[in-house]
């Protein structure tokens, strides 16, 4: 009886095993899929994987999950064979996915150690899977998928660049593969390359003499796209010695065609454009924070949906939203997210129209708009921020209150705070 039970159980297990096998054997995939998705099957067959890697080896055997749209092959699966590429990729900013706008701050001297917990478990260097992007969290499920993940899943899906079933190297050697994501108002690298000296010569004389994306950013085929980049994805330059080491990496690439001195001068000039552009956004930032301190934002954060990460407070860093804010914050969003990137990346990519017109000119016009809106919100008699003497503004009590808030959020040191306070009281 016991034996019977055991043999029944074994029979059942065998049946389950066979059923599972039926579901997962490559031939069985093909028997259906040659009819249902013949184009996909043909792509796989004609690829380098065709006679080596079966459907199940990549997609697994959970057919129900595949039918729910969850059959995307994770990068870890590719990494089993393509070890070096996987590790280079994972260590680069491409490995950061939806954290890439935030960027790892471990190399920054200004880093607040508390920041680490946004992306990492205590003591770990691996990113957590929870998305820490306020803009992502505000979107519908569909917009998250089409508008965010389609690019940001580069973190975990090699198919983002390599496509699903083709292995033809010419696909990933074409600048179009980068263009899919590195375009648009927030970072038009493709557009600025395409109309630069490099990009306009490229279709005429080829990547050998007129570099494309891969030639500079994936030198010698590396998957570490952060090679030679001297700043975080958020645009904050790395401190020494990281900065110099990264700059030397890029200069090695530039030197393949140009005199090193020339390349150095150009990149140093672009560094200066970055500093100048950041000074413009910092001025705007200060105006918006001053309005916040005075309770003049329209509406104030307390009177609108809370920020998904920070709650009912003003947020103007890389987690700045483009929805449910006041009009002046939306101007700041355009300035910091779009126009700063065009000026700075336009300078590094040697594109005059992006560095100057789309970037620098827009940054300066943004500042006009922000100052104008600030003047309106403060009441038409008030002068723009910097030059506003106390008497022209809202009186000594408000000025003292604003000063205290700036001290409390560490914008002012205690020393400067006490000096400024003394000046105000002396001026009474």
Site for a copy of itself in 149-178 (CB under 8 A): 150-151, 163, 166, 168, 170-171, 174, 176-177
Is 195 a binding residue for a copy of itself by CB under 8 A? The answer is: yes
Write the interaction track for a copy of itself spanning residues 70-109; mark x where CB under 8 A is met and - where it is not: ----------------------------------------
Report yes or no: 311 and 153 within 8 Å, Cβ to Cβ.
no
- By CB under 8 A, the residues from 223 to 282 that bind a copy of itself are 255-262, 265-266, 269-270, 272-273, 276
With contacts defined by CB under 8 A, name the span among 75-83, 245-253, 309-317, 356-364 that binds a copy of itself.
356-364
The reply on whether position 50 binds a copy of itself by CB under 8 A is no
Binder among 1, 4, 67, 428 for a copy of itself (CB under 8 A): 67
What minimum distance in Å lies between the beta carbon of 352 and a copy of itself?
4
Residue 43 in contact with a copy of itself, rule: CB under 8 A: yes
Q: Alpha-carbon distance 74 to 102, whole Å? A: 23
As beta bridge partners, residue 307 has 311
Q: Per DSSP, which regions of 250-394 are E strands?
A: none
- Of 384-403, binders to a copy of itself (CB under 8 A) are 384
**Which residues between 211 and 230 bind a copy of itself (CB under 8 A)?**
none
Under DSSP, is residue 391 helix (H, G, I), strand (E, B) or coil? Answer: helix
Judged by CB under 8 A, does residue 295 bind a copy of itself? no
Which tokens is 182 given?
Answer: 């590195």
Q: Which of 37, 54, 107, 249 binds a copy of itself (CB under 8 A)?
A: 37
Asked if 179 interacts with a copy of itself (CB under 8 A), we say yes
| Distance of alpha carbon 181 from alpha carbon 349, whole angstroms | 17
Measured between alpha carbons, how far is 22 from 166 in angstroms, rounded to an integer?
Answer: 26
- The stretches of 167-254 forming alpha helices (DSSP H) are 169-173, 176-179, 189-194, 197-205, 213-217, 242-254
Distance between CA atoms of 191 and 161, rounded to whole angstroms?
18
Site for a copy of itself contains 323 (CB under 8 A):
yes
Of 80-88, 91-99, 102-110, 137-145, which segment contacts a copy of itself by CB under 8 A? 137-145
The helix or strand, by DSSP H or E, that contains position 55, with its residue range, turns out to be helix 55-59
Burial class (CB in 10 A: 0-12, 13-18, 19+), 73: middle
The burial of 241, by beta-carbon neighbours within 10 Å (0-12 exposed, 13-18 middle, 19 or more buried), is given as exposed
Residue 306 as a binder of a copy of itself (CB under 8 A): the answer is no
């Amino acid at each position: 009886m016991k034996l019977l039970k055991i043999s029944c159980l074994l029979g059942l297990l065998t049946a389950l095993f066979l059923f599972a096998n039926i579901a997962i054997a490559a031939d069985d995939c093909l028997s259906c899929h040659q009819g249902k998705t013949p184009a996909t099957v043909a792509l796989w067959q004609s690829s380098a994987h065709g006679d080596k890697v079966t459907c199940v080896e990549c997609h697994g055997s959970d057919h129900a999950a595949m039918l729910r749209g969850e059959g995307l092959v994770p990068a870890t699966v590719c990494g089993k064979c393509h070890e070096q590429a996987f590790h280079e990729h994972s260590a680069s900013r491409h490995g950061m996915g939806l954290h890439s706008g935030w960027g790892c701050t471990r190399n920054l001297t200004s880093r607040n150690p508390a920041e680490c917990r946004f992306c990492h478990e205590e003591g770990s260097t691996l990113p957590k899977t929870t998305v820490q992007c306020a803009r992502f969290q505000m979107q519908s499920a569909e917009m998250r998928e089409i508008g965010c993940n389609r690019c940001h899943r580069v973190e975990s899906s090699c198919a983002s660049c390599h496509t699903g079933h083709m292995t033809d190297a010419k696909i990933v050697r074409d600048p179009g593969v980068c263009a899919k994501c590195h375009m648009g108002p927030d970072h038009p690298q493709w557009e600025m390359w395409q109309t630069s000296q490099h990009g306009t010569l490229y279709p005429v004389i080829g990547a050998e003499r007129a570099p494309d994306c891969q030639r500079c950013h994936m030198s010698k085929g590396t998957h570490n796209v952060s090679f030679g980049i001297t700043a975080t994805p958020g645009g904050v330059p790395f401190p020494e010695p990281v900065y110099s080491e990264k700059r030397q990496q890029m200069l090695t690439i530039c030197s393949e065609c140009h005199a090193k001195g020339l390349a150095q001068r150009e990149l140093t000039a672009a560094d200066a454009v970055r500093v100048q552009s950041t000074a413009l956004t910092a001025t705007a930032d200060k105006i918006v924070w001053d309005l916040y301190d005075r309770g003049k934002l329209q509406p104030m954060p307390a009177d609108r949906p809370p920020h998904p990460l920070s709650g009912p407070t003003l947020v103007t860093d890389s987690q700045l939203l483009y929805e449910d804010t006041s009009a002046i914050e939306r101007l700041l969003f355009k300035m910091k997210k779009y126009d700063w990137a065009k000026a700075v990346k336009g300078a590094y990519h040697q594109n005059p129209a992006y560095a100057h017109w789309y970037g620098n000119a827009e940054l300066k016009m943004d500042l006009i708009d922000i100052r104008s809106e600030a003047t309106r919100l403060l009441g038409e008699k008030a002068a723009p921020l910097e030059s506003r003497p106390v008497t022209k503004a809202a009186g000594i009590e408000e000025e003292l209150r604003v000063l205290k808030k700036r001290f409390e959020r560490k914008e002012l040191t205690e020393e400067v705070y006490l000096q400024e306070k003394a000046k105000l009281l002396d001026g009474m």
